[in-house]
Amino acid sequence: MNQWNNFKKGLVKDNPVFVMLLGMCPVLGVTTSAINGLGMGLATLFVLVLSNIVVSSVKSFIPEKVRIPCYIVIIASFVTLVDLLLAAYTPALHEKLGIFIPLIVVNCVILGRAESFASKNTLFSSIVDGLGMGIGFTMALTMLGASREIFGSGSIFDIPFVGEDPKTMLLFIMPPGAFITLGLLVAMMNRFREEK
């Protein structure tokens, strides 16, 4: 049951985007569509889980003085792998995400989980934590991207709505729309958390 609570906290209680407001650069920068949010979220999930696994496995071998640089090297290795895989298998998404993929290295969600959780817990607990936080991050980016795409483009996952020309608000796919939509989703998430 403890592992289930550990997993759930990344989804709702300690959601990296809606509660802790971490990783705002990719959250606001790439979520102009649901597919961009989902792609960035899955890339971050991949890096988060694998870096948690490695950090938890090698924590006893890393000297205290160099632990943060070592964690960054571990994270950077997985980010490079994700960057190459996206470029090879989904070049259109890779191009849309652009500079935000290499910036996963300095995403405070990943480094924070490596430092505060994976370096202090068992391998299995670190995997569960990485999955919970990563899925919560992916869910948040996809929700934000979907909301902005619906209101700003009149489509979802790049599929236009059927019917006459939908009424759209260009503001939502522009940078101010990211802040407005994030604020509304954070308010909704706070309301949901209060009711639980």
**Structure confidence by residue, pLDDT tens digits, 15-49:** 888 888 887 888 888 888 999 999 999 999 999 99
3-state secondary structure of 154: coil
- pLDDT above 90: residue 89: yes
pLDDT, one tens digit per residue, over 103-160 is 888 888 888 888 888 888 889 999 999 999 999 999 999 999 999 998 888 888 888 8
- For the segment 56-68, the average pLDDT, to the nearest whole number, is 88
| Phi then psi dihedrals of residue 157, to 5 deg | 50, 40
Please say whether the beta carbons of 158 and 170 come within 8 A.
no
Please say whether the beta carbons of 17 and 145 come within 8 A.
no
Place of tokens 């470029």: 87
- pLDDT above 60: residue 167: yes
Please say whether the beta carbons of 186 and 195 come within 8 A.
no
Please say whether the beta carbons of 1 and 126 come within 8 A.
no
- pLDDT above 80: residue 185: yes
For residues 149 and 165, give the distance between their C-alpha atoms in angstroms, rounded to a whole number.
15
- pLDDT above 80: residue 188: yes
Question: pLDDT-derived band of residue 162, with 50, 70 and 90 as boundaries?
Answer: low
- pLDDT above 70: residue 196: no
Please say whether the beta carbons of 52 and 122 come within 8 A.
no
Hey, where are the domains in the chain? 2-147
Place of tokens 């802790």: 20
- pLDDT above 70: residue 166: no
Residue of 146 and 168 predicted with greater confidence: 146
Place of tokens 């890393």: 62
Place of tokens 């817990």: 121
For residues 147 and 152, give the distance between their C-alpha atoms in angstroms, rounded to a whole number.
8
Q: Which amino acid, residue 99?
A: I
Q: Which pLDDT does position 1 carry in this prediction?
A: 52
Which residues lie closer than 8 Å to 177 by C-beta, 6 or more apart?
A: 148, 151, 152, 169, 171
The chain-wide mean pLDDT, for the chain, equals 88
